[in-house]
Amino acid sequence: MSSLRTAATAKDAADPLAPLRDRFHVDDGEVYLDGNSLGALPRSVPDRLAEVVGHEWGRLRIRSWTESGWWEAPQRVGDRIAPLLGAAPGTTVVADSTSVNVFKAVVGGVRLAAARDPRRNEVLVDESTFPTDGYIAQSAAELTGCALRVLPAGEIPDALTPRTAVALVNHVDYRSGELRDLPGITAAVRAAGALSLWDLCHSGGALPVGLAEHGVDLAVGCTYKYLNGGPGAPAYLYVAPEHQADFRSPLPGWNSHRDPFGMAPEFTPAEGALRGRVGTPDILSLLALDAALDVWDEPAAEITAIREKSLALTDFFVHCVREYLPKALADGSVRNLTPERHDRRGSQIALRCPDALALTAELQRRGVVVDHRPPDVLRFGFTPLYTRFADAERAAKTLAEALGEA
């Protein structure tokens, strides 16, 4: 056994989060490092879905909206996610997709800013944002009569002007895994009189976010990555308490009405984060997510412990890559794009490699599942709830073998 494999075995034996792996359907014969795209299936989900389909839908039918708590599920599940984001109860609602929530948040944020100061007619977006955020921001800016400025996230504090209404930033860069300075950028945006809007898709459930602590105004995020909610699981929208009374969604649906069953022709918004709802919730996906969140009720599943293991996993993987691929690193054919500093790294490592798309398929053939981002980036995602140090070692060794440098 190699020294790295021995080290991985020792680290796994000492890992306080190791028992949580049994809460997921994961194959010990395969290394799954794609939880930053789709999390593994929690064992609690299939039985819960069978109950929802067989009993709540199959037998109770329409009665489940009240008797099974379907109607309150968006806010109830939102309150389960809120502590993982450092948010208070009543600030987070689960509904729709991330893209739809970005649209609500950008338009709602512009309206909030313009109500304070009509000069605020500009939206800032970081240039490396996930594409849909950019598409949505462009459309939202056009619809609200705003100009859109695209620039590096680190330049946003210096680019703020009295015209800035909203700054939309990704907390973790989806390509490189770089962790953005949420406290610093948020403070600068607030000092300039604008509103901060953070996309937490690649950080929620992987590291402490501190929405309330840092004064974030608005946030969105998906639940199918580090929260393991399943394919197409609904996203969440966060609205800070100070903005809830004045937040006006551009999609005022009957589910966000103060009296949804009153069927009034005029719209009167609900109180609090419920304004973020639109139409009838996707109950099957929503309740699958609810069951997936049960793992966070375990005492060991504390977000600071998750972050500690995430950093340990990514540190160890980078060490293994250095040991197994010295030639490729020396000649530059393999390059680490993820910052090595802990305060600048999410829960993934991105390597620039030749023929990355073909290499992704070859790694999968060898039992290591990662993903590819064009043109030449391999992403290795580490989900501390179920990823082992042995997985990190095997992934690095398999990469070396696939590149002919074993």
Q: Quote the pLDDT of residue 2.
A: 85
Tokens of 87: 């948010």
Q: Quote the pLDDT of residue 271.
A: 92
Instruction: Looking at the structure, tell me whether residues 311 and 365 fall in a common domain.
Output: yes
pLDDT, tens digit, for every residue of 273-282?
A: 999 999 999 9
Domain that holds residue 77: 71-280
Instruction: Looking at the structure, tell me whether residues 154 and 84 fall in a common domain.
Output: yes
Query: How many CA atoms lie within 13 Å of 20's alpha carbon, on the beta-carbon side?
Result: 24
End of a domain among 280, 309, 327?
280
In a domain, 48, yes or no: no
Question: What are the CA-CA distances from residue 311 to residues 75, 185, 255 (Å)?
Answer: 31, 23, 40
pLDDT average, residue stretch 198-207: 98
Instruction: Looking at the structure, tell me whether residues 306 and 362 fall in a common domain.
Output: yes
pLDDT average, residue stretch 312-336: 97
pLDDT, tens digit, for every residue of 55-66?
A: 999 999 999 999
**Burial of 12 per CB tally in 10 Å (0-12, 13-18, 19+):** middle
> What amino acid is encoded at 64 in this protein?
S
Integer distance in angstroms from the first to the last C-alpha of the chain? 14
Instruction: Looking at the structure, tell me whether residues 263 and 126 fall in a common domain.
Output: yes
Instruction: Looking at the structure, tell me whether residues 122 and 264 fall in a common domain.
Output: yes
Tokens of 189: 């945006």
pLDDT average, residue stretch 225-243: 98
In a domain, 304, yes or no: yes
Task: List residues with catalytic annotation.
Answer: 130, 199, 224-225, 379
Instruction: Looking at the structure, tell me whether residues 276 and 306 fall in a common domain.
Output: no
Q: Say what angle helices 303-324 and 389-402 make with each other, to 10 degrees.
A: 30
In a domain, 288, yes or no: no
pLDDT, tens digit, for every residue of 251-269?
A: 999 999 999 999 999 999 9
Instruction: Looking at the structure, tell me whether residues 269 and 308 fall in a common domain.
Output: no
Q: Name the domain count of the chain.
A: 2
The verdict on whether omega for the bond into residue 375 sits within 30 degrees of 0, i.e. cis, is yes
CATH number of the domain that residue 36 is part of? 3.90.1150.10
